[in-house]
Amino acid sequence: MKSVLFICVYNSARSQLAEGLARYLGKGRIEAYSAGLHETGVNPYAIEVMKEIGIDISSQRSKSVQEYIDGEFDYVITLCSEAEGTCPVFPGNAVVMHWPLRDPNTMGETREQKLEAFRLARDDIFKRINELLKDILD
């Protein structure tokens, strides 16, 4: 079984969305994890936009990359430029990828604008994970 670690700075939004989507779309055929350079908690908007598509990530938690530093992964994917430049080296032969996504938490002023930003991030990650899974599982 292939394993994927998604990394972002705070492990609150993009990487949490990716972990939840990869688990859901992988249907038990991959192991998905997420971590951040800092732990901050899962963003409530991330939980909300995932519920909109029937995926519950409310039990996920924010984790530090230090928790996984000794782990071996098949893929390590950074989701923001800050994580790409400071991502630790993981043992093994992981394929390292970078998906530069804008932080949805920094977009929009109103609740609805923020939700829309999170929906856009979710949908972008959804497409990217579907493409990744085609490569991993085919």
Active site residues: 8, 80, 87
Give the whole-angstrom CA distance, residue 56 versus residue 62.
15
Got the DSSP string for 56-97? --TT----BGGGGTT---SEEEE-SHHHHHHPPP-SS-PEEE
- Cα–Cα distance, 1 to 19 (Å, whole number): 16
Q: Give me the amino acid identity at 124.
A: D
Closest listed residue to residue 126, CA positions, set 45, 62, 35, 49: 49
| HSE-CB for 24 with a 13 A CA cutoff | 18
